Amino acid sequence: MDTKPITDFLNRIAGLSAGFIQEVVRDVKQEFYKHHQIIQAQGQPEYRLWYLNSGFARSYFYDDEGQEHTIRFWNEGEVIFSYAGFWSMPAMEYIEILESSELNPFEYEQLKRLLDKYPDTRVLVQFAIQQYLQKEQERHLLCSLPPEKRYLKLRQENPHIFKKAPLRMIASYLHMSRVSLSRIINRRRR
């Protein structure tokens, strides 16, 4: 197994010791998933996070009326992390693989054991939380914009999403209907 991507990722995080990185890399596993596989279901115990080595994923939930709401997309090189899992709570959403992906899973219990052994584990946890909060803030700011500006901002800052995700998922992420998003896209093409 090629551990270079996970090693490179960890080396980019300031404050992690070589011993800590070696232990994480030594224990790293590799999992492969196909298009449309669900790796976490709403309500299930959430016991691990993943480093998305390659591929593309999203998280979503269903509201009381059965409507699907996409709340996040993950690209390769990002950590799929949730507060619920870290605090041993059931998952609040589904995580779906949107294209064939390679993931490196890491159990939260393993992370908690490392916290006792290596103080720099806190740096990794803080990094994951900071990434999570940054994505949350970006999404809240995006959703505060008028519909057409939401589309333009997402298109400008994350053009790859439009190549990898179906329009219905993008519309859901942008808090609009697929029809409304299609109209905006068609208007912009003229």
What is the tens place of the pLDDT at every residue in 38-88?
Answer: 999 999 988 888 999 999 999 999 999 999 999 999 999 999 987 777 777
Q: Per the structure, how many domains does the chain have?
A: 2
- In CATH, what number is assigned to the domain containing residue 74? 2.60.120.10
| 24 and 60 assigned to the same domain | yes
Q: Which of 144, 159, 177 is the last residue of a domain?
A: 144
Whole-number pLDDT of residue 11: 86
Dihedral (CA of 169, 39, 103, 22) sign = positive
pLDDT at residue 132 tops 90: no
| Cα gap 32→18, rounded to integer Å | 27
pLDDT, tens digit, 9 for 90 and up, residues 165-188: 999 999 999 999 999 999 999 988
Whole-number pLDDT of residue 16: 82
Whole-number pLDDT of residue 2: 80
Whole-number pLDDT of residue 171: 97
Dihedral (CA of 116, 118, 122, 125) sign = negative
Task: Count CA atoms closer than 13 A to 188's CA, side-chain side.
Answer: 12
> Going by DSSP bridges, is the β-strand pair 94-107/31-33 parallel, antiparallel, or unpaired?
antiparallel
Whole-number pLDDT of residue 18: 86
Q: Distance between terminal CA atoms of the chain?
A: 48
How would residue 99 be classed by pLDDT, with cut points 50, 70 and 90? very high
Q: Which residue has the higher pLDDT, 110 or 68?
A: 68
| 125 and 160 assigned to the same domain | no
| 140 and 101 assigned to the same domain | yes
| 132 and 171 assigned to the same domain | no
| 121 and 167 assigned to the same domain | no
Whole-number pLDDT of residue 184: 94
Residues 6+ apart with CB under 8 A from 145: 153
| 189 and 96 assigned to the same domain | no
| 102 and 127 assigned to the same domain | yes
| 111 and 67 assigned to the same domain | yes
Alpha carbon separation from 74 to 59, 84, 123 (Å, rounded): 8, 17, 21
| 37 and 59 assigned to the same domain | yes
- Single out the residue of 87, 97, 113 nearest to residue 50, CA to CA: 97
| 127 and 151 assigned to the same domain | no
| Cα gap 138→143, rounded to integer Å | 9
* Count of Cβ atoms closer than 10 Å to residue 144 Cβ: 9
Average pLDDT over residues 132-156: 93
How would residue 121 be classed by pLDDT, with cut points 50, 70 and 90? confident
CB of 158 closer than 8 Å to CB of 53: no
| 20 and 110 assigned to the same domain | yes
How would residue 1 be classed by pLDDT, with cut points 50, 70 and 90? confident
Matching residue, tokens 């010791």? 17
Residues 6+ apart with CB under 8 A from 93: 40, 42, 59, 60, 61, 71, 82
Whole-number pLDDT of residue 81: 81
The model's pTM is: 0.89
* Residue 9 belongs to domain spanning: 4-144
| 69 and 159 assigned to the same domain | no
CB of 132 closer than 8 Å to CB of 82: yes
pLDDT at residue 160 tops 90: yes
Average pLDDT over residues 80-109: 87
Distance from CA of residue 48 to its chain's centroid? Answer: 13
Average pLDDT of the chain to the nearest whole number: 90
